[in-house]
Amino acid sequence: MDVRLADAELEAFLDAFNAAPAPPATSVGARALRAGAHERALARPPGPRTAGVHDLAVPGGPAARLYRPTGSEPGLVVWFHGGGWVVGDLETHDRACRRLAARSGLAVLAVEYRLAPEHPWPAAVDDAVAAVRWVRSGPEVLGAVPSRLAVAGDSAGGTLATLACLRLRGEHPEALPDAQVLVYANTDLTASGGSMDSEGHGFGLEREGIEWFYDQYVPDRALRSDPRVSPLAEPDLTGLPAAVVVTCEHDPLRDQGEAYARRLEEAGTPVTLRREAGMVHNFLLWDLASPACAAAGDRVADDLRRLLAAA
């Protein structure tokens, strides 16, 4: 490739990826995409051991999986997986969540929200809000009401994390988390930002694929500029939890993520914005392919631990 990536291993991985690209989402469809992602996840080695992993469910809502770390446990992270609101489940992000729990020393609750196109917006947001409210209620299965709570996610899951914060701020402020961590998140479904063009081909996430995911999740294009869909469109970002926003140099979603971080900061929210140099979308799932991806994932875990220690 003609650009500098984070390490040679990532460069080789993307070269191989681009040399034999998978069929586009438009021709494969949601079910086949999910099956492929699930199969690849099961083929990966398991993540690090934790003190316990338990499958459970949010009452009346989505399935979830609780990861308890070995050692200290000063707080809990509600994690929403990526996948364009169409793909992803507890298995696709099992290794990533194990790594986050082991590195951060925090309990991680992964939430398997409803997916589009069968369940378009706002189903996933509804599930995210319900999950956070349930955690804040102190269900016995979780042990106790966590004294410090973060919401976090990668890609579409990062969008859900911040949309949950926005809705909770207005409707259920008592359940608002203490921190939010958005990892290469979508913040504007109108596809704004020059990086959609400059980084939208050859880095593992194609612009055409992003737009297909948008079509599945929010088929009504007029809704995509609604603040309930695109957090960057929200005029009032005051009163939200401290945030870490992680973007990647070679990610189509980079500019909209960084624009959202600036908006949060302008509204008075403590924000840490980190652009991972030479990095690409999906690094949390590619730790086995690249030491640089693994190190970037470790930094996300460190962010979570630092944020909840300060909360």
Task: Kindly list the catalytic residues.
Answer: 155, 251, 281
Element holding 129 (H helix, E strand): helix 123-136
Phi/psi region, residue 3 (left: phi>0; alpha: psi -120 to 50; beta: rest), is: beta
Distance (Å, whole) CA 282 – CA 293: 9
Distance (Å, whole) CA 108 – CA 135: 11
Could you tell me if 211 and 191 are in contact, meaning their C-beta atoms sit under 8 angstroms apart? yes
Task: List Cβ neighbours of 282 (8 Å cut-off, separation of 6 or more).
Answer: 82, 154, 155, 184, 204, 205
Distance (Å, whole) CA 124 – CA 256: 21
Distance (Å, whole) CA 99 – CA 2: 32
* 240 three-state secondary structure: coil
Sheet holding 52-57, edge to edge: 52-57, 63-68, 107-112, 76-80, 149-154, 179-183, 242-250, 271-280
DSSP E strand boundaries for the chain: 52-57, 63-68, 76-80, 107-112, 149-154, 179-183, 242-250, 271-280
DSSP E strand boundaries for 184-259: 242-250
